[in-house]
Chain A
Amino acid sequence: MAVEIMKEKYRSQVREVVLGATKDEGGTRSTTIKVGGESTLPFLHFEGAVPNRPVVAMEVWDVFPEEWPQNLKDAFGDVLNDPAAWAKKCVDEFGADLIALRFKGADPDVNDASAEDCIAVLKNVLEAVGVPLIVYGCGKLEKDNAIIGPIGEAAEGENLLLGVAEQENYKSVASAAMAYKHSVIAQSPIDINIAKQLNILISEMSTPLLDRIVIDPTIAALGYGIEYSYSIMERARFGALNGDRMLGMPMIGNVGHEVWSKKETFIPVDEEPGWGDQAERSLAWESVTAMALLQAGMNILVMRHPQAVKLIKQNIDELMQDNSY
């Protein structure tokens, strides 16, 4: 007797968000990227549509990433002092789909770089690569609020993905996105209710922004509560597929940022002989974290190590192979 395969049919799908803008669309990118649009759970091609591949963004900083472990720095050679060259290498050699530019140098405790300094770096990077850009501030709210407007204005029409809007601090980022035609990362602290509420708050400022929001559910690294991130993402996906318009956005995860601050990625083997070679271990940590998040429905992975990026892109190739029957 033939086995009948049960297939779920969902009434809705994840919103599709376009990142970047070509010349015709008011920007200067050579390509744009579409994320989202799934009408089923991750990679169940037999059940629904998975029209767009998950994409990998590689992180580029405006300052030399002193705190990165040596094996991570070594992977980039001599470009880490030059954000434009660094970005170009990520795209040309390592296959990054996008660049995530982080203005670490704007931190008052680092270089206290001004909005003008950041804009100069941004323009160099925009010129060096043709892929869409994600832009992060330094993580200090007051400073980020001061620089995000000018940065948004300087890149008007590029449809950058601007980070990050939070429940208590979303207006500056959302305003910059609204005024200068960019998209927004809406970040919530591993909390589905806040994720939904934040999307409502942003859409109350401007309804069309609903189609330009990417959710950052805040992910954790492997071993640090990734299962919480996973279940939040899974719940958001079920919500989206069942018609919850306020949770139906694509998702982004700061994989590199989370993983490379954890001891498993930088403690040398002589300190923890049972853990194995640090270089190999750190790569595995970033890759496995990213793989788990792909399975949870992550659309944009922000990563660091070129080898891990390579592995994940292979993994995405495999997962995107049609398994419908």
Chain B
Amino acid sequence: MIIIGERINGMFRDIAKAIREKDPTAVQEWARKQEAMGSGYLDINVGPAVSDRVSAMRWLCEVAQEASKLPLCLDSTDYDAIEAGLEVCKQPAMINSVPAVQEKMDRVFQMASKYNAEVIGLAMNEEGIPKDAESRVALAMELVANCDAHGIPISNLYIDPLVLPCNVGQDHGPEVMETLRQIKLLSDPPPKTVVGLSNISQGTKDRDLINRIFAVMAMANGLDAAIADGCDEELIAAVATARIILNMDIYCDSYVDVFKNQNL
């Protein structure tokens, strides 16, 4: 599973302050730290801190890339901000995200094609998040079809089945697992899958435990990537171990260190 490090987000106070004061220190520290712990992408989200999201996104992308060689995952509902980020990305980035809503898909897949970007597609539409696996998969198929229509390789599409907190939508858990499995049958090659990991534990008491158990269960069901806390040692160790058990990496005694040091 690829970890998309979630820490560069204007929802965090230090990042909000960094954006406001144009001081890259905190952003670059987190960029370096997440890279050193084995994250594969850096999520970049300007958050609610500023009104000019376009220039904030551009600035965050620029300073993050000065500190890290990881590709970026541009996280915003403001597509102008995402496009501003794409313009300054030094390597193909990931767009986070687009729902299965036609005019949004038109805009996002067009951008993805222009900038050779990957796309996170959400299994939801105007009506919200479906309750069962079948409806999620149907929306995933719409995303696959639109992606293909723009000539984008399906392997550049990451479907997010959308996870609800386990204390609120407990019945969604098995549906998400089922969706992860079925998405792999949609096309050949199939799309990839991603989740926002910490959604599962919103409002619960032992969030880290729930996050990492969900991560390994989802991996066993084919999950490819997660937007997650890339500095959670226990999560990293759990993911590294799941990769061994799923025969994705060759075992050696120091396998956790190898996973962490993959960016070195």
Chain A interface residues toward B at CB < 8 A: 192-194, 196-197, 200, 207, 235-236, 239, 243-247
Residues of B within 8 A of A192 (CB): 250
Chain B proximity of A242: nearest CB distance (Å): 9
Contact A193 B262 (CB under 8 A): no
A200 to B261: give the CA distance in the assembly, Å: 11
Residues of B in contact, count (CB < 8 Å): 10
- Closest partner residue, chain A, to B249 (CB atom): A244
- One digit per residue, 1 when the CB lies within 8 angstroms of any chain A CB and 0 when it does not, for chain B 225-264 equals 0000000000000000000000001111110011000101
Task: Name A's interface SS.
Answer: helix
Contact B258 A193 (CB under 8 A): no
Contact A193 to B249, CB < 8 A, known contacts A245-B262, A246-B258: no
Task: Name B's interface SS.
Answer: loop
Chain A proximity of B204: nearest CB distance (Å): 35
- Closest partner residue, chain A, to B251 (CB atom): A193
Contact A193 B257 (CB under 8 A): no
Q: 12 pairs across A/B with beta carbons < 8 Å?
A: A192-B250, A193-B253, A196-B251, A197-B253, A197-B254, A200-B252, A200-B258, A243-B262, A245-B262, A246-B252, A246-B258, A247-B250
Residues of B within 8 A of A200 (CB): 252, 254, 257-258
Contact B250 A197 (CB under 8 A): no
Contact B257 A196 (CB under 8 A): no
A246 to B255: give the CA distance in the assembly, Å: 10
Q: 9 additional contacts, CB 8 Å, given A196-B250, A245-B262, A246-B258?
A: A192-B250, A193-B253, A194-B252, A196-B251, A196-B252, A200-B257, A200-B258, A243-B262, A247-B250
A192 to B249: give the CA distance in the assembly, Å: 12
Chain A proximity of B130: nearest CB distance (Å): 34
- Closest partner residue, chain B, to A246 (CB atom): B258
A194 to B255: give the CA distance in the assembly, Å: 11
Residues of B within 8 A of A244 (CB): 249-250
Residues of A within 8 A of B257 (CB): 200
A169 to B258: give the CA distance in the assembly, Å: 21
10 A-B pairs with least C-beta separation: A196-B252, A197-B252, A200-B254, A193-B251, A193-B252, A197-B253, A239-B250, A246-B258, A192-B250, A196-B250
Contact B252 A235 (CB under 8 A): no
Residues of A within 8 A of B258 (CB): 196, 200, 246
Residues of A within 8 A of B249 (CB): 244
A20 to B213: give the CA distance in the assembly, Å: 50
